[in-house]
Amino acid sequence: MDTNLNNQQAAQAASSAQLAYLGDAVLEVLVRRQLVLNNAPHPSETALSYVTAAAQSDALERILPHLTEEEEAIYRRARNSVHANVPKRATVAQYRRATGFEALFAYLHLMGDTDRMECLFRLAYPDIMGPEP
């Protein structure tokens, strides 16, 4: 059976919590990859400044105007889901936006839309991208 079709079905059937769980890992890999490509001196320390709820909330604000209706619906559904455990270093609003941000990246990952995921990542984190070639 076609793996892409399975992933797309999973993306559409996944709960917001499942998407946010996967999206956390997807974003972590994207950030780590870019830090390695940029030859960052302390990547493990630097990565933290990009993957906290507060940083993800800020990143979401940068991409929000660029989202399609479908992407915005995925984001809103996850943002509005139940959030029981808010980290100490984030407000409830930041955590909710970060959850939606993570879910969006997981959805794009599962849908196999790597180009769109990369485009939004560049918009979300322009300072991590390094100099233009």
The CATH number assigned to the domain holding 30 equals 1.10.1520.10
Is 47 among the domain residues?
A: yes
* Global pTM exceeds 0.75: yes
Q: How far is CA 37 from CA 33, 43, 72, 130, in A?
A: 6, 10, 30, 9
Is 54 among the domain residues?
A: yes
The one-character DSSP state at 112 is T
Is 57 among the domain residues?
A: yes
Is 132 among the domain residues?
A: no
Is 111 among the domain residues?
A: yes
pLDDT in tens, 84-118: 676 778 888 999 999 999 999 999 999 999 999 99
Number of domains in the chain: 1
Is 112 among the domain residues?
A: yes
Q: Give catalytic residue positions.
A: 24
| Contact indicator for 60, 101 with CB cutoff of 8 Å | yes
